[in-house]
Amino acid sequence: MAPSFREVAMYRKCLAEFIGTFWLVLGGCGSAVLAATFPDVGIGFTGVALAFGLTVLTGAYALGPVSGGHFNPAVTVGLWAGGRFPARQIGPYILVQVAGAIAAAAVLYAIASGKPGFDAAAGFAANGYGAHSPGNFSLGSALITELVMTFMFVLIILGATHARAPVGFAGLAIGLALTLVHLISIPVTNTSVNPARSTGPALFAGSWALAQLWLFWLAPLLGGVLAGMLYRAVLERDVPEPAVEGQPDVGLRPAHR
């Protein structure tokens, strides 16, 4: 008999989070760096948005049964604030998520640097504001965008993984939500809503990306916590959830209490 979700060893959860975040950054940022403006026919903003959504959708179904399929520190702290994730596991999850993002950025750099004239400092899918925003949006615009987009993304995760939500469709809803988030916010910040995703490319893009990285930790984490607190205090209040063993946060239904 397969072990329940609560019984999955921590190292397996961490490995799943590492792989899932690796896939998210490689797939999403890889599409932006390698394919968005490919000569003659590129996938553009819409293609990049879809790529990010597909990484989360596929990762959630493949790895969600092991770790819950967070792949994002903002999701992890948001689920904790919403009463869906234990505080003692926040540190290990965030550590491996960041490690997975850095590993993916390193692989992407190795691929992209094979093209003559490649310059990581020119962008490398890093997040930015002001002169480093795709649309030259200000710090204030970037802060509002990242906070609100992360808030809505985590709120959708909490709702889609509620015990009363249709079983098996959470990954689809979450993947589509992340696609929509990118369609809205790529012109403003290149879309983070994920501190790990921001950290990996920033290390290779250089000084400007590292100098602006603080925003892409602060705003997503704050947005995630606010979403978790609101959902737990208002939207989920007095709505009983049946005890369901073995269901992950993102893959099917919540298991953390």
Write the CB contacts of 124 (distance below 8 Å, at least 6 apart in sequence).
Answer: 29, 33, 105, 108, 109, 112, 201, 204, 205, 209
pLDDT in tens, 18-51: 999 999 999 999 999 999 876 666 789 999 999 9
pLDDT of residue 184: 97
pLDDT of residue 71: 98
Instruction: Give the containing element (helix H, strand E) for 103.
Output: helix 90-112
Contact 132, 124 (CB under 8 A): no
- Average per-residue pLDDT for the chain: 90
pLDDT of residue 42: 79
pLDDT band at 1 (very low <50, low <70, confident <90, very high): very low
pLDDT of residue 238: 61
As a whole number, mean pLDDT of residues 124-144 equals: 97
By CB atoms closer than 10 A (0-12, 13-18, 19+), residue 41 is exposed
By CB atoms closer than 10 A (0-12, 13-18, 19+), residue 232 is middle
Q: What is the residue whose two structure tokens read 């250089």?
A: 206
As a whole number, mean pLDDT of residues 232-238 equals: 81
Give yes or no for residue 223 having a pLDDT over 70.
yes
Ramachandran bin of 66, using left for φ above 0, alpha for ψ from -120 to 50, beta for the remaining angles:
alpha
pLDDT of residue 213: 98
| DSSP 8-state class, residue 3 | P
Query: HSE of 82 in the Cβ direction (CA atoms, 13 Å)?
Result: 31
pLDDT band at 212 (very low <50, low <70, confident <90, very high): very high
Domains of the chain plus CATH, in order, are 5-235 (1.20.1080.10)
**Cα separation, 110 vs 113, whole angstroms:** 5
pLDDT of residue 107: 98
As a dihedral over the C-alpha atoms of residue 144, residue 145, residue 150, residue 151, rounded to 10 degrees, the angle is 50
pLDDT of residue 240: 56
**Cα separation, 192 vs 154, whole angstroms:** 13
